[in-house]
Amino acid sequence: MVDLLTFVNEHPINESSIKAALAREGKKVEKLVPSDLFPYDQDHYGGLQAVKELAEKARFSANSVVLDVCSGMGGPARYISDCYGCSVVGLDVNKSRTLSAARLTRWVDLGNTVSFVCGDAGIMPLGQNAFTHVVSQEGFLHIEDKGALFRNCREVLRPEGRMVFTDWIASPNLSSHERNILRDGMAAVGVHTEVEYKNYIFEAGFDSLETEDLSSWWAKILPERFKMYQSKSKEAGEAFGLRRFEEFINAYGAFIRVLEAGKLGGMRFTVGSL
């Protein structure tokens, strides 16, 4: 079974793979602008299009104070700040990702508005009522205690704040065998049905919720993403060993099969004052 630390630290998308991609384009770290990173730093499904749709739901403005939970290498945080001029804090439990996120942000000169905190969203090391928005993309599947997660998100949000996130959604017929495959291969310890998610959200004190089913979009784009990962055998094999790369590919293949069987999908949740 892969633990979250290994899954994230030995992931084919990482700071070195971004640097290698920029070098292939002949781009120098000292001369980068945020958009140079966008093709490479978005570690969720649907790339910038997904962040744009999330941003529309969030209704950011220049005065927004945004928390990106499970921020990874900070791609969405930088995009949001660059587009709206607002301040964004990224929270991620992984130290190496947090350090990469801060470095990439310095390269593109967004350090005045975008910052990163290394910490667990299940504990939430941030102040009450500090944010106008909480966002997240494809991170919550790694968090088992959703009760604590949503209570924490409610606490750091101002009363009129909005929370928008996307995540995997289990269909009620996802078997325990398939759940175990996803947990063991992709550190997906917190996979829920839509009904379970709704219960957690309302129990945390949110009073309104809109959902959008992204499953058919994801079913189109995820096989492409799988092909992109398969093409990274040399680079990822050299970085983390071929055996680890093959484990990753096998786990991702199993994930795609569960998705294609219609037992797993994607959903966007817009929560709070609608």
Ligand X SMILES: C[S@@+](CC[C@H](N)C(=O)[O-])C[C@H]1O[C@@H](n2cnc3c(N)ncnc32)[C@H](O)[C@@H]1O
Chosen residue from 34, 46, 47, 139 binding ligand X by CB under 6 A: 139
Nearer to ligand X (CB atom), residue 208 or residue 218: 218
First-to-last alpha carbon distance for the chain, in angstroms, is 40
Which of 2, 5, 8, 16 shows the shortest CA–CA distance to 234?
16
From candidates 54, 55, 58, 70, binder to ligand X by CB under 6 A: 70
Q: Which of 92, 167, 178, 247 binds ligand X (CB under 6 A)?
A: 92
CB of 91 or CB of 181, closer to ligand X: 91
The CA distance from 191 to 225, in Å, is 20
C-beta closer to ligand X: residue 49 or 173: 49
Output the smallest distance, CB 209 to ligand X, in A. Answer: 21
Q: State the nearest-atom distance from the C-beta of 222 to ligand X, in Å.
A: 13
User: Residue 36: what residue type?
Assistant: D
Work out the angle at residue 237's Cα, subtended by the Cα atoms of residues 232 and 243, and round it to the nearest 5 degrees.
Answer: 120
Residue type, 24: R
Which CB sits closer to ligand X, 14 or 87?
14
What ranges in the chain are assigned the alpha helix state H?
A: 4-9, 15-24, 34-37, 47-58, 75-84, 95-107, 146-156, 176-186, 194-203, 215-230, 233-240, 242-260
The verdict on 268 binding ligand X (CB under 6 A) reads no
Cβ–Cβ < 8 Å for 206, 246: no
Q: Fill in the amino acid letter for 91.
A: L
Residue of 47, 92, 4 lying closest to 220 (CA atoms): 47
Q: How far is CA 78 from CA 33, 75, 91, 94, 103, in A?
A: 11, 5, 13, 18, 12
Q: C-beta of 173: minimal distance to ligand X in Å? A: 25
DSSP 12: S
In 57-106, DSSP assigns E strands to 65-69, 87-92
Provide the minimum distance between the beta carbon of 47 and ligand X in the complex, in angstroms, as a whole number. Answer: 9
In the complex, minimum distance from the CB of residue 101 to ligand X, in angstroms, rounded to a whole number: 9
- What binding mask, one character per residue, do residues 15-54 give for ligand X by CB under 6 A, x or -? ---------------------------xxx----------
In the complex, the smallest distance separating the C-beta of residue 111 from ligand X, rounded to whole angstroms, is 18
Q: Is 67 in the site for ligand X (CB under 6 A)?
A: no
Residue 30 or 92: the one with the smaller Cβ distance to ligand X is 92
Stretch that binds ligand X, among 52-60, 117-125, 177-185, 224-232 (CB under 6 A): 117-125
From 96, 97, 90, 99, select the one nearest 121 (Cα to Cα): 90
Give the x/- contact pattern for ligand X in 164-203, rule: CB under 6 A. ----------------------------------------
Question: In the complex, which residues of this chain contact ligand X (CB under 6 A)?
Answer: 4, 8, 42-44, 70-72, 75-76, 91-94, 97, 120-122, 137-139, 142-143
